[in-house]
Amino acid sequence: MTLSVRVHGQSDVGLVRKRNEDAYHVDDAAGLGVVADGMGGAPAGALASSLAVRTVLGVVASESGATRDDDLCGLVRHAMEAADQAVRAEGESNPLNRGLGCTLTVLRVDPRRSRFAVGHVGDSRAYRFRGGTLEQLTQDHTLAQESVDQGRLPPDAVRHHPFGHILTRVIGMAEGAVPQILEGEVVPGDAFFLCTDGVIRVIEEEEIERVLRRDLSLAEVASLVIREANDRGGPDNSTVVLMQVNPGPA
């Protein structure tokens, strides 16, 4: 079956931060969605996130149509590694930017082969929405999540735990960030929801799931989620990227 992809993204500074250190990119033709979040309190967080996103776009553009483009996981992994190297090099070359870093989540859908791949570092998130159910695809790279994985903390304690937003893996870290890479099948009607932690900190997954069940456009969903984050204090920048897989040609 022929499939097509629609992508939409929105970002907002929120009500507390003075600047937006999130960055994102969407591309229908490439089936690409990217979100990045500059490290809070680190120098040049906005520079890190924008540089990471630009680097991903450069890799995807240079390798589209090449043999590697048929290897979704390989392409996404290469883009993640290139972004990590670019951000780390910027921090090492400019003393004013020493220590800059960001989260990075990359989603690529190939409608021709009905496949998707996700690359991820940090605590931004990627979800798949299928059959009315929202499923988290990525794993948070935080101290709290590590405690859950080790059985020392219940999963429902992560959201409000003091270690919930202390990152253990970021793009630009000195020793290099090992990305989470995963791949799967897409079917008509699938949707993907990417966001930075400014959304997840104040909105429950069940609430996002209910919004996605409504008969709304991608732009309406993104606007509604970001508005809700701000209505709850807007403590951080909020960025949402949505991707819809439809039957038929673009």
Tell me the torsion sign for CA atoms 200, 201, 202, 204.
Answer: positive
Identify whether the C-beta of residue 90 lies closer than 8 Å to the C-beta of residue 48.
Answer: yes
pLDDT on residue 175: 79
Q: Which residues pair with 147 in a beta bridge?
A: none
Contacts of residue 246, defined as CB under 8 A and 6 or more positions apart, other chains included, come to 3, 4, 5, 6, 188, 189
Q: How high is the mean pLDDT in each 10-residue block of the chain (250 residues)? A: 93 96 96 92 85 97 65 95 95 86 97 96 97 96 70 63 76 88 97 97 96 98 98 97 91
pTM of the model: 0.93
Encode burial over 65-85: b for 16+ CB neighbours within 10 A, e otherwise.
eeeebeebebbbbbbbbbbbe
CB contact at 8 A, 170 and 102? yes
Q: 174: which 2 tokens?
A: 């000195």
Is residue 195 within 8 A of residue 239, CB to CB? The reply is: yes
Contacting residues for 202 by C-beta, under 8 A, at least 6 apart:
228, 229, 232, 233, 235
Sign of CA dihedral 135, 141, 142, 146: positive
CA atoms within 13 A on the CB side of 106: 33
End-to-end CA distance of the chain: 13
Q: Give the pLDDT score at 63.
A: 78
Cβ atoms within 10 Å of 155's Cβ, excluding its own: 10
Candidates 204, 189, 134, 197; CA nearest to 165 is: 197
SS3 133: strand
Which has the closest alpha carbon to 5: 134, 191, 149?
191
List the domains of the chain with CATH numbers. 3-247 (3.60.40.10)
What distance in Å separates the CA atoms of residue 76 and residue 104, rounded to the nearest whole number?
11
Return the pLDDT at 67.
46
